[in-house]
């Protein structure tokens, strides 16, 4: 417990932060839950209330909070020094672990966020192709680099033709040149996406694809879709960048290995830092050579004051060492158990709801399973149902982001997963069912 309640802290926060928070993504409805500490699968609010953490700081905390091997590695490193201008063996050890488990990654460069990882992957593709444009999926989130922000929040008023979506500015004053540089693709429409890549390929450096884009609806890309965009990209000399910042947690070899995608470049982040800030770009040696000084380079200079800081490096290595194939198998089983239980509750209540996702990630939709970003949009009654759901989880002591996305950790067991399933079952049973009321 702190000396102040969440309400009291928020009152002070409003004096020093615009809208009282430092990230748009902080849930504050009406007040954020201020946290004092986390332990395993649980975190504790300023009021001392425990919450089962199904948020995991935006999916970062795959081992839960205060994971002992990470604490030990970081404590050791803190005494040795937190950052140096010189390289350390720790960065080599983490890079070896990533290259050792991801097919298609020979070389790695570390940065501090997923945003930077995506940005440097795009710059690398530009240097290889001599082109500036990118193609991306409508609604997909890839961090805060301007080009990937285009069409992140398209709406019915702006999005245009489903088979040739408009590229929509993300913020007022976004440079028109950036918007023009982006081709927006519809998820899981292979013909339309391939046609758009063929049509614009001459000006595209890369297609940026997250194989299960969270903000599109945590909807897995169909194998045929990934095949179609990869084939079209290769035909036009366009590189494929896999954004695995979030979905690297889908399996031991990452998301591309799971989905059968063979990208030219990868962006990583989140879990590879063990709970500390990190990003990494990776790929085959001949492409990653754009970052090399050798041969008159680098074509893409990349530095960063805190890039490869040894604290993130040792935390990441300790975290990955415990992400064995067995650990992923257990996460997969927990995810499947929860998915099955949620779906059974939905069926028994007869509500129009659905669950998407894979492995340790699930997203509950207050509507039939969406197939793309447009279908995932909610009308007002659906929005209110989702809000009630998240509130009822919070009332049951379960922290779930407002999007309805649930994230599991190795700190969880069937007992925690069943708490979530029981809370969800109680929620659906208490919800009005319009179909029954009409009958």
Ligand X SMILES: Cc1ncc(COP(=O)(O)O)c(C=O)c1O
Q: Which is nearer to ligand X, 138 or 243 (CB)?
A: 243
Q: Which is nearer to ligand X, 141 or 259 (CB)?
A: 141
What are the Cα distances from residue 78, in Å, to 63, 81, 132, 314? 21, 5, 41, 10
Ranked by CB distance to ligand X, the top (closest) residue is: 114
Interface segment toward ligand X; rule CB under 6 A; list 136-144, 177-185, 291-299, 331-339? 136-144
Task: Check residue 243 for interaction with ligand X (CB under 6 A).
Answer: yes
User: Least distance to ligand X from the beta carbon of 170, Å?
Assistant: 14
Interface segment toward ligand X; rule CB under 6 A; list 153-161, 190-198, 239-247, 307-315? 239-247
Nearest one of 267, 243, 256 to 141, comparing CA atoms:
243
Residue 221, token pair as written in the block = 């890309």
Angle at 17 between CA 15 and CA 18, to 5 degrees: 105
Task: Give the helix/strand (H/E) hosting 183.
Answer: strand 182-185
Cis check: omega of the bond before 80, within 30 degrees of 0: no
User: Least distance to ligand X from the beta carbon of 415, Å?
Assistant: 28
Distance CA 221, CA 207 (A): 14
- Applying CB under 6 A, among 56, 251, 269, 401 the residue interacting with ligand X is 269
Distance CA 363, CA 239 (A): 30
Task: Check residue 142 for interaction with ligand X (CB under 6 A).
Answer: yes
Query: Of 32-91, which residues contact ligand X (CB under 6 A)?
Result: 58
Per-position DSSP letters for 187-248, written without gaps between them: TT-HHHHHHHHHHHGGGEEEEEE-SS-TTTTS-PPPHHHHHHHHHHHHHTT-EEEEE-TTGG
Q: Which is nearer to ligand X, 58 or 306 (CB)?
A: 58
- Applying CB under 6 A, among 95, 128, 134, 245 the residue interacting with ligand X is 245
Q: Which is nearer to ligand X, 312 or 345 (CB)?
A: 312
Distance CA 336, CA 226 (A): 24
Residue 219, token pair as written in the block = 């909807």
- Applying CB under 6 A, among 42, 67, 141, 328 the residue interacting with ligand X is 141
SS3 154: coil
Distance CA 226, CA 404 (A): 26
Query: Of 177-216, which residues contact ligand X (CB under 6 A)?
Result: 210, 214
Interface segment toward ligand X; rule CB under 6 A; list 75-83, 85-93, 114-122, 226-234? 114-122
- Applying CB under 6 A, among 193, 246, 261, 406 the residue interacting with ligand X is 246
Distance CA 45, CA 52 (A): 11
Task: Check residue 282 for interaction with ligand X (CB under 6 A).
Answer: no
List residues with catalytic annotation: 141, 243, 270
Task: Check residue 143 for interaction with ligand X (CB under 6 A).
Answer: yes
- Applying CB under 6 A, among 114, 165, 370, 404 the residue interacting with ligand X is 114
Interface segment toward ligand X; rule CB under 6 A; list 95-103, 137-145, 313-321, 355-363? 137-145
What are the Cα distances from residue 316, in Å, to 42, 63, 119, 211? 21, 11, 21, 23
Size of the site for ligand X (CB under 6 A): 15
User: Least distance to ligand X from the beta carbon of 245, Å?
Assistant: 4
Interface segment toward ligand X; rule CB under 6 A; list 44-52, 103-111, 243-251, 313-321? 243-251
User: Least distance to ligand X from the beta carbon of 71, Å?
Assistant: 22
CB under 8 Å to 91, separation ≥6 — which residues?
110, 308, 310, 313
Task: Check residue 170 for interaction with ligand X (CB under 6 A).
Answer: no
b/e 214-248 (16+ beta carbons within 10 angstroms → b)? bbbbbbbbbeebbebbbebbeebebbbbbbbbbbb
User: Least distance to ligand X from the beta carbon of 146, Å?
Assistant: 13
Chain residues binding ligand X by CB under 6 A are 58, 113-115, 118, 141-143, 210, 214, 243, 245-246, 269, 279
């Amino acid at each position: 417990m702190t000396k102040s309640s969440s309400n009291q802290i928020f009152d002070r926060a409003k004096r020093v932060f615009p809208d009282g928070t430092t990230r748009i993504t902080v849930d504050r409805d009406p007040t954020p839950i201020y946290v004092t500490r986390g332990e395993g699968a649980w975190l504790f609010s300023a009021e001392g209330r425990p919450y089962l953490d199904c948020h995991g700081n935006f999916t970062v905390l795959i081992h839960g909070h205060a994971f002992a091997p990470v604490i030990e590695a970081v404590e050791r490193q803190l005494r040795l020094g937190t950052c140096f201008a010189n390289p350390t063996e720790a960065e080599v050890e983490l890079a070896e672990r990533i290259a050792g488990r991801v097919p298609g990654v020979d070389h790695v460069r570390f940065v501090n966020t997923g945003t930077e990882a995506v940005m440097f992957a795009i710059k690398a593709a530009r240097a290889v192709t001599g082109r500036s444009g990118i193609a991306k999926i409508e609604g997909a989130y890839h961090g805060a680099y301007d080009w990937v922000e285009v069409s992140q929040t398209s709406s019915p008023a702006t999005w245009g033709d489903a088979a040739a979506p408009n590229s929509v500015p993300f913020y007022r004053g976004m440079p028109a040149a950036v918007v023009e540089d982006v081709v927006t693709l519809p998820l899981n429409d292979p013909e339309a996406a391939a046609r758009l890549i063929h049509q614009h390929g001459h000006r595209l450096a890369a297609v940026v694809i997250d194989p299960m884009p969270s903000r599109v609806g945590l909807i897995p890309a169909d194998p045929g879709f990934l095949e179609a965009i990869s084939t079209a990209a290769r035909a036009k000399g366009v590189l494929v960048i896999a954004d695995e910042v979030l979905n690297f947690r889908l399996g031991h070899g990452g998301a591309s290995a799971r989905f059968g995608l063979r990208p030219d470049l990868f962006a990583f982040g989140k879990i590879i830092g063990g709970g500390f800030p990190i990003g990494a770009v990776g790929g085959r040696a001949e492409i990653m050579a754009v970052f090399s000084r050798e041969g008159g380079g680098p074509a893409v200079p990349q530095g960063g004051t805190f890039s490869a800081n040894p604290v993130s490096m040792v935390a990441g290595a300790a975290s990955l060492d415990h992400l064995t194939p067995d650990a992923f198998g257990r996460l997969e089983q927990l995810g499947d158990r929860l998915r099955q239980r949620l779906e059974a509750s939905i069926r028994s209540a007869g509500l129009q709801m659905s669950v998407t996702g894979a492995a340790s990630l699930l997203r509950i939709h207050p509507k039939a399973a969406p197939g793309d970003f447009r279908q995932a949009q909610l009308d007002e009654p659906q929005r209110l149902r989702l809000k009630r759901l998240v509130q009822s989880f919070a009332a049951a002591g379960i922290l779930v982001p407002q999007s309805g996305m649930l994230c599991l950790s190795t700190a969880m067991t069937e007992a925690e997963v069943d708490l979530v399933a029981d809370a969800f079952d109680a929620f659906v049973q208490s919800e009005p069912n319009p179909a029954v009321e009409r009958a």
